[in-house]
Every structure is written in C-alpha cells, then in structure tokens.
Chains A and B, each alone.
Chain A
Amino acid sequence: ELKVEQNPLFLSMQEGKNYTIYCNYSTTSDRLYWYRQDPGKSLESLFVLLSNGAVKQEGRLMASLDTKARLSTLHITAAVHDLSATYFCAVDPTGNQFYFGTGTSLTVIP
C-alpha cells in the first residue's frame, strides 16, 4: 500500500524563524504536489513538482523534490502569522489518483 508521510504533524514556530516540513513517500513518483488548507476551507495549490531536483519558490515558501530519496521538502523562511495553516503533500505515481500525506499543522506565533 502506498504511504505518504509528513513530519512533523504539528509545528509551532515563532515569527521570523525558518523551518522545514518533510514529505516521504513509499513508491516511485516523479510528480509531487503541495497544498495549503486553512481551517474550514478547501485546499489551495501551492506547488507542482514534476521532476527530480525540481525546486520552486513562492514568497517565503520553497519546495523541492528528490525522487531518488522519495522525499520532498517545504522550507519556510522567516515565518509570518499568515502562513499558519495545514500543509499537505500529495503524490500521483500513475497519473490518475492523488495520494495525500497526513498533513502538517503549522502555527506561527507572534
């Protein structure tokens, strides 16, 4: 059974600090997605990573993909309160079904 694991599950960090969320998956996949979910809301697409070594950045967030290690990271730089949300990674190894990670609940403390 395909597994997608994120760690940490919960993350509390101070404003201005840096941190990394990790996403490990158990099968070969060249495609990995990151989503953000605010409480009571739907999922918002953040990044689409389509190849080994792919790196994408948007504002204070940067995502990378290492398909050989089956690992993606979401790096947060100089966190601000607006980044508080739950972050999900998802893989799509066959092109027809997304498998989501467990989610990382991020709280940024002023």
Chain B
Amino acid sequence: KAGVTQTPRYLIKTRGQQVTLSCSPISGHRSVSWYQQTPGQGLQFLFEYFSETQRNKGNFPGRFSGRQFSNSRSEMNVSTLELGDSALYLCASSLTYGLAGVEQFFGPGTRLTVL
C-alpha cells in the first residue's frame, strides 16, 4: 500500500512569508504527527492530529499551526517565517492515537529553506 506522502518536497521562502505544507497519511491511518528536524535541535515534536482535532502540541510558537481534514490529510502552516525555521519537516501517520506501541510511519519530508 502507498506510504505517507508529503508535498512539496522542497520549498524556498524569504523571511516574513508564510508557508503551507501538506501530508497524506497511509490509507486507514487516522493520526498524523508533525516533526521539525534541524542539525542543532534534532527531531522535535510539533503537534498531532486525530479525528480532525489537535490532541497534543509541542513547544513551538503560535506561528506554527496545523489542521486535519475529514479524510485524515493534514496541513501545517508557518507564518512570518524566520531564518531559524529552515528545517526538514516530517509528517508521520499512525493507525490511532494514545495506545501503546502504535508505530509511526514517516513521510519523505519537506525541506524548507528560509532566506
């Protein structure tokens, strides 16, 4: 079956702009999580959505937001981009939320560069 897809794969933006990233989970998966990966901070949790509701949020400013649609697809938005937002943004899907041992499957990521 098809894996997690993310679009676009690469983005170049300038400071102050906003950006929207998209994630389509594996068919049948209802939970989507987003992570930011940078060389300095490693992999950091942004937020998780399940059944169109944000269930958990990491320690990121309000400029980072997201949503999930009824078909489980998810988008994340970053407004007023800063240089430090340059990162690989990874989306992960899982069957459900809040249960032990629910494996997360990662998409290829979106590489965002802020100039």
Q: How far is the CB of A102 from chain B (nearest CB, A)?
A: 6
Q: Does B83 contact A (CB under 8 A)?
A: no
Set of chain A residues within 8 Å of B53, measured between Cβ atoms? none
Give CA–CA (A33, B100) in the complex, Å: 12
Known A-B contacts A31-B100, A31-B101, A50-B101; the reply to A97 vs B48 at CB < 8 A is yes
**B107 touches which of A42, A45, A48 (Cβ 8 Å):** A42
Chain B: interface size category: 20 to 34
Known A-B contacts A43-B106, A45-B105, A98-B45; the reply to A30 vs B90 at CB < 8 A is no
Q: B-side interface residues toward A, CB under 8 Å? A: 33, 35, 42-45, 48, 55-56, 58, 90, 92, 97-109
Known contacts A43-B90, A96-B98; 12 further A-B pairs (Cβ under 8 A): A30-B100, A45-B104, A50-B101, A90-B43, A96-B48, A96-B97, A97-B45, A97-B48, A98-B33, A98-B92, A100-B42, A101-B42
